[in-house]
Amino acid sequence: MSETSKKTNWTSLWFSNYIQFFGGVQMSIFFTSMWPYLLKLDPKAQLSFFGVVLASFSVGQAIGAPIFGWWSQKSEKFRPPITAGLLMCLIGNLIYGFLPNIKFMEPQYAMLMTRIVIGFGCGNLAALRAYVAACSTSEDRNKAVSYSFGSLVFGMLIGPALQSAFAFIGNGTTLFSCIVLDCYTSPAFFLFFMIILTIILVFYLFDDENFVGVMTSSGNSGEENNIELPNFDKLPAFLCIFLWFLMQIVVVDMESLCTVFTIAMYNWTSKEAIIYNGYIETLACGVIVVQYFLIGSTRIGKIDKRITISIGLFFFAVFYLALLPWPFYTGKLSYNPNVTDGACTYSWCQFVPRVPLAVYLFVYIICCGIAFPYVGSSIGTLFTQILGPRQQGMMQGVYAFFGSVGRCLTPLICTFLFNISGYTWISVMVLCIILIAGLGTILLWKRIVPMRIIEKNGSEFGYDNDIEIEIDDKEKEETTKF
């Protein structure tokens, strides 16, 4: 295929972004309501087991992502694995909505099972990411990956806001004597019908043939055996994976603990926490959407990805530094171990100061609203460029696997640490991981660059801000950028 005839199918890519958006929604939509829902199903449920339930989604995704990635790479087709993942999500959400009707097993184990099934289905994100890399030209790669990761992260962050939209239903009603329709089950039924629509659209809007981002043995120029595609540089590739792992830790930590954190800090009831956190998430999502749009559509997207990663890490650090129990935070928490809602019931509430609400809102909405796009978009683009113009299904599966590991471990560790110290040790832990990521970025600075593609006649190709250029032999000796 000649350079002039290569063209990105934006209709298909936008549809894949839509699927990734709903994948992100399914990761997070139940975070703020799952704990109250579990207590409604089983009043004796423990917070420690809730951490296991939160982690179960990521266990399923960690299993599913390499499978779907391998499937797409071996078959060189993306529609079948993506559709299979959607079917798993369909089944999982249907069962989640019918949890009040399940009597043959404990509610907490039934909820655990549904989240594993949905997580496994969302493993198709590995195939979707590989599809974005395979179906976008080098000129469109930055925009395609920015919008792709933006869709996923937007879905992850807007999930709790969508949950809050169903809060007005309250205890709801029962339809046909068997369907409990309340603020906890309605989102699951909503997702069920949206996934049905998505599966239908897959067969009409999804292009499974236009692989302009994959270089075959004949190369993109059509000259057989003219291109030598080298192995990718493993260290910077795995640094990108580690940065994605860090990003998932932050996302899950924020979304899984925002309800219990705000109840403890600001004496909100469970219902108030769901509604108010939904508003906060909506504002944060607004900042994030604007940032992803600017990255994908303006010269901001041309800034060196290593610089934008560093900026994002800085803002993540500011967020966690703000949550530490600084002595100049003078507000005291309302410690009351005997209530079940609307107060701080943990032993640490006696000596940990209240984080000022204005500070919390600023770092959550502004700092994280800037950090997520700057890190997420940059590492997503760099990862595809470091791997080069090859089928990336398996490596995208590895990428998603370690993200899922982060999502799996975070609820278990953070709920334990929150029980004993509030956000103190959580902040220390994540700040240490941010420090490691920052040092890794500095040490590998000169290697975190797109792959060089070498012609057998000695010419070399690279990617400069996603514009494909040729470096001839004379220039190659003088060029240090690559």
Q: Structural domain boundaries of the chain?
A: 10-208+231-451, 452-482
**Residue 18: exposure state from Cβ atoms within 10 A (0-12, 13-18, ≥19):** middle
**What does the pLDDT read at residue 224?**
42
In contact, 185 and 99? CB cutoff 8 Å: yes
**What does the pLDDT read at residue 191?**
93
What CATH number belongs to 10-208+231-451? 1.20.1250.20
Helix/strand/coil percent split, the chain, to 5: 70, 5, 25
Cα 394 from Cα 147, distance rounded (Å): 22
Q: How many CA atoms lie within 13 A of 359 on its CB side?
A: 17
What does pTM read for this prediction?
0.74
Which residue, among 427, 431, 476, has the nearest Cα to 454 in the 3D structure?
476
**What does the pLDDT read at residue 215?**
60
Q: Which residues are within 8 A (CB) of 207 and not within 5 positions of it... i.e. 6 or more apart?
A: 9, 11, 12, 135
Q: How many CA atoms lie within 13 A of 200 on its CB side?
A: 6
Phi, psi of 216 (to 5 degrees): -90, 180
Q: In angstroms, how far is the first alpha carbon of the chain from the final one?
A: 26
**What does the pLDDT read at residue 464?**
43
In contact, 23 and 122? CB cutoff 8 Å: yes
Cα 106 from Cα 135, distance rounded (Å): 45
In contact, 392 and 62? CB cutoff 8 Å: no
Q: How many CA atoms lie within 13 A of 215 on its CB side?
A: 23
**What does the pLDDT read at residue 440?**
94
Q: What is the mean pLDDT of each run of 10 residues along the chain (482 residues)?
A: 62 89 86 82 80 84 88 85 94 92 86 93 88 79 78 78 79 74 88 94 82 55 54 89 92 82 87 83 84 83 90 95 91 80 83 92 93 87 82 80 84 86 91 96 90 61 42 36 34
In contact, 211 and 135? CB cutoff 8 Å: yes
**What does the pLDDT read at residue 463?**
47
**What does the pLDDT read at residue 216?**
55
Q: Which residues are within 8 A (CB) of 462 and not within 5 positions of it... i.e. 6 or more apart?
A: 449, 450, 451, 452, 453, 468, 469, 471, 481, 482
Neighbours of 133 (CB within 10 A): 28
